[in-house]
Amino acid sequence: MTFSSTVDYSASSDEHLMAMVRTGEVSAYRPLYERHFAVARARARRLVPDRPAEADEVVSEGFLRLLEALLDGGGPTRSFRAYLLTTITHAALARKRRLAQELLTDDPTANEAASRLDPRPQQETAVERVLERSLVVRAFDRLPATARQVLLYTEVMGMSPADAARVLDISPNAVSSRAHRAREALRAAYLDAHVIRELVPSGCAHVVDDLGSWARRALRPRRRSAVDDHLGKCANCRKLADELASLNTCPREAQR
């Protein structure tokens, strides 16, 4: 993308820039593009890992879709990054769906009939499930062994607290309490799994590691206060926190 302007928008917030674009000031889109390009490309290359050129096309498509939406008066009013990453996920899934349909058959009539079977084709749904599972597995692997163990018995194997208590050699009440804490830890770890840590400055790592719990409002007051203080000073972490908060409100938004 190329933009030209004599106005310096570098100090403007994402919200102000989006408002400017809505008025027709296309040059205000340039700093949005520059600020979020690296994160967008990292997400696209995670979704399309074996084809860097296609991943770059997905990034361009995502930015163009958002530009068009803003110029039409739509698009996000806040959390530009979260909306962008959602759009890129949609674009990548659509490309995978189109490829799967092209491989399905060379018969146009059969292709048309197959596309009418389900407004959300099976190929797209399958890809979404793979992406979702990869994030859940990554989150599960980050949990302490005790949390993984109680979730394995109660959630995966479907044991009652009484049955799991006999295996774990603790009381049923202790199983229920431990399972509750483990589920909450898994939800926070799931949010953390969306973070592309290679793009996080080393000075922010100690805060970013807490953002999943921050979004879940599960931090202790003193730690939450420290995170809030950092977010008030660091625009990049503030954007990331908004993204995770959005995912926490609607966990599957990025996959739909």
Question: In this model, does residue 100 exceed pLDDT 70?
Answer: no
Q: What is the pLDDT of residue 196?
A: 72
pLDDT, tens only, 201-230: 888 888 888 998 999 988 889 999 999 999
Question: In this model, does residue 108 exceed pLDDT 70?
Answer: no
> Could you give the CA distance from residue 13 to residue 26 in angstroms, rounded to a whole number?
15
CA 75 to chain centre: 17
What percent of the chain lies above the pLDDT cut of 90?
25
3 state DSSP class of 9 = coil
- The whole-number average pLDDT for the span 143-172 is 90
> Could you give the CA distance from residue 236 to residue 35 in angstroms, rounded to a whole number?
9
Q: What is the pLDDT of residue 116?
A: 44
Q: What is the pLDDT of residue 119?
A: 42
Q: What is the pLDDT of residue 218?
A: 87
Specify the pTM: 0.51
* Domains delineated in the chain: 1-130 (no CATH), 143-192 (1.10.10.10), 198-256 (no CATH)
- Between 9 and 252, residue with greater pLDDT: 9
Answer for the pair 186, 147: CB distance below 8 angstroms, yes or no. yes
- The whole-number average pLDDT for the span 67-92 is 83
> Could you give the CA distance from residue 39 to residue 47 in angstroms, rounded to a whole number?
13
What percent of the chain lies above the pLDDT cut of 70?
78
3 state DSSP class of 77 = coil
